[in-house]
Chains A and B, each alone.
Chain A
């Protein structure tokens, strides 16, 4: 089997050159789909019969929470690949996934609290879903803190990867929390297995927003990783040439 693609994948320069072409497209797609989703969700989706207009927060709350969880997998898997194959690029992806994931978790917690006030009558409750999401937020912060805790980059990367992997135990708990401890947080509205409990008039804008958030995540991760590459490789000739002249002449 030809493993050349796998080795190329580990090359920061290869990644940088490839994503130069992809990044603007993914970014444009993310912004357009999110603009459509927000307008649809805020203005055209019908009002909820029980929750009134407050439910419109779902169009950002659910996609942000989806990506907060998916982003954790990205971070942990990147960490594992870095540990196993000692791939520099993989550790860079892990490092960049942490602040993006932390912000998405923050968004889902804040929008959840704001949604909770008119719906449940309280900003915060120590419900299983909310508490496990708060733990997810702290796990992300832990990885960010570990990245800055050591002088040696190697040590920072290894310890962050181990924390990410250990923290993965939290992800299935978050998913199942609404079923295991059924308290205030409502169970999943969109289901992969079985019929969803949401009307299509509300489901379409929600699915558009989820797709938009996936694109946004991919775009952000590319941008942050590209920046990390420039930062870590700034002593190399190709980065110097790129930053000083705006392009690389002899591409490898």
Chain B
């Protein structure tokens, strides 16, 4: 198994198909990244909500 391209520029250009290939990978990367990020963000929101609720239920004396 050997590396198929002569240089990094060659890898990026991919004899003219570079923009298509890299574009497709970029879209996938962003979409999957979003699917991973959303639950993390929402979890923080729920924690904040539960903490707020807790404070309302037990007011400080």
Contacts and interface: CB of A to CB of B under 8 A. Distances in A.
Contact-residue bracket for chain B: 20 to 34
Interface in A130-154: none
Given A52-B17, A100-B35, A57 B24 contact: yes
Interface in B36-50: 36, 38-39, 42-43, 46-47, 49-50
B45 to A, nearest CB: 9
Contacts of A239: 50
Contacts of B20: 54, 57, 114-115, 117-118
Given A45-B4, A100-B35, A117-B20, A107 B11 contact: no
The A interface, classified by DSSP as helix, strand, loop or mixed, is helix
Contacts of B23: 114
Interface residues of A, number: 40
B23 to A, nearest CB: 6
Interface string B12-41: 001111101101110110011011101100
Interface in A182-236: 201, 216, 220, 223-224, 226-227, 230-231, 234
A248 interface: no
A15 interface: no
A57 B21 contact: yes
Nearest to A38: B25
Contact of B11 (A43, A100, A118): A43
A223 B34 CA distance: 13
B46 A243 contact: yes
Interface of B: 1-5, 11, 14-18, 20-21, 23-25, 27-28, 31-32, 34-36, 38-39, 42-43, 46-47, 49-51, 54
